[in-house]
């Protein structure tokens, strides 16, 4: 349930509503907008006691929350959220490009990539230290050594860093080294991990599971917000379909839909979404056109030598080309034919 306070509601009236929500067995979540305050009653309690708040002083209206996700919903917070990642604002006016290798493979590889993506205009660096690989025989990541290299790249370039966390055991050490933690597609519904990440003070990049609906994705984000972490950025990275020519099917409508349903920023990952170098420039432009707040793109100094995801990684020139393409206007509309004078 949502209690919409009137524009003129006093602090005392808001405090009273918060107290009554607690008494009714719900958790109160307050959103202060530029015009009015909204108090959401989340959880399960005595609904009729919340409905009765319609007549409490300072209350404009009490309405049910239509969706199963609550705190991520735009009904609870109509204004868009902006997530600050080490000084880079995701969800603000500018689209944020995050770039770097799938995996951190060596100091030289990461430093060269960090410098190149920065020079091309990226504002954040990515790099996997703990890798979720389909086969246990594939490269699993350098772990702590990679985290140290990422830290050094941050110190050298100033780019905030995002890296994937796969296990609750690694949360503390990852937090000591990077600015943002990624929940990979395979872990979107790892509820123990989500509950733990809800308690940390770092922003989270939450990828959509390859077979998850938008509703399940937003409910995964709800675990983070309801547990106390409001700094969440959603990432569409493609879903499984019958198509085999692309690695995944990039669900661009889901980017627009997630932004319609939620106030959280949404970015797109054309690297995993297509699995093909040749499609990344076009899909990047398309993602921004549908409203993505940014992109996360895999870049490697020599993709043919990459230890993971080489076929979808761009080399430095390829990444510069994507960045140039992002600056181009969309195609102009055809003009109606002028009638031929008789
Ligand atoms: C990655 O970012 O390298 C990765 C493994 O992504 P996803 O979880 O989307 O597959
Ligand atoms: Mn990858």
Cβ atoms of 225 and 243 closer than 8 Å: no
Mutate to test the pocket of ligand 1, among 185, 212, 235 (most ligand atoms within 8 A of CB): 185
Residues 6+ apart with CB under 8 A from 318: 277, 280, 299
Q: What is the sign, positive or negative, of the torsion defined by CA atoms of 249, 253, 258, 263?
A: positive
Residue located via tokens 């510069």 = 320
| Cα 334 to averaged position of ligand 1 atoms, centre (Å) | 39
Instruction: Give the model's confidence band at 328: pLDDT under 50 very low, under 70 low, under 90 confident, else very high.
Output: very high
Q: Which residue, by CA, sits nearest to atom 6 of ligand 1?
A: 184
Q: How far apart are CA 234 and CA 205, in angstroms?
A: 6
pLDDT digits (tens, 9 = 90+) for 146-198: 999 999 999 999 999 999 999 999 999 999 999 999 999 999 999 999 999 99
For 48-75, write each residue's pLDDT tens digit: 999 999 999 999 999 998 899 999 999 9
The span from the CA of 69 to the CA of 73, in Å, is 6
Is the pLDDT higher at 342 or at 260? 260
């Amino acid at each position: 349930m949502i209690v919409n306070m009137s524009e003129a509601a006093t602090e005392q009236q808001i405090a009273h509503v918060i107290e009554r929500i607690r008494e009714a067995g719900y958790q109160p979540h307050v959103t202060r907008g530029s015009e009015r305050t909204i108090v959401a009653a989340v959880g399960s309690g005595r609904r009729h006691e919340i409905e009765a708040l319609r007549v409490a002083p300072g209350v404009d209206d009490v309405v049910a929350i239509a969706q199963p996700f609550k705190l991520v919903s735009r009904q609870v917070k109509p204004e868009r959220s902006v997530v600050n990642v080490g000084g880079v604002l995701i969800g603000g006016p500018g689209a944020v490009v995050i770039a770097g290798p799938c995996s951190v493979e060596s100091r030289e590889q990461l430093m060269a990539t960090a410098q190149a993506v920065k020079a091309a205009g990226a504002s954040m660096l990515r790099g996997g230290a703990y890798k979720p690989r389909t086969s246990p025989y594939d490269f699993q990541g350098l772990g702590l050594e990679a985290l140290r290299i990422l830290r050094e790249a941050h110190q050298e370039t100033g780019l905030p860093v995002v890296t994937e966390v796969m296990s609750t055991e690694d949360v503390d050490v990852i937090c000591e080294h990077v600015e943002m933690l990624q929940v990979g597609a395979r872990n979107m519904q790892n509820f123990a991990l989500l509950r733990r990440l809800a308690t940390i003070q770092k922003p989270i990049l939450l990828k959509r599971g390859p077979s998850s609906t938008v509703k399940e994705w937003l409910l995964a984000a709800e675990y983070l917000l309801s547990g106390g972490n409001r700094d969440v950025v959603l990432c569409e990275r493609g879903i499984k379909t019958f198509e085999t020519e692309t690695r995944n099917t990039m669900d661009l409508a889901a980017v627009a839909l997630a932004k319609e349903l939620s106030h959280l920023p949404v970015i797109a990952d054309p690297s995993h979404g297509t699995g093909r170098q040749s499609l990344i420039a076009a899909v990047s432009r398309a993602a921004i056109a549908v409203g993505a707040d940014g992109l996360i793109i895999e870049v490697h100094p020599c993709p043919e030598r990459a230890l993971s995801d080489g076929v979808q990684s761009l080399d430095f020139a390829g990444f510069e080309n994507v960045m140039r393409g992002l600056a181009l206007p969309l195609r102009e509309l055809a003009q109606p034919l002028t009638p031929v004078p008789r």
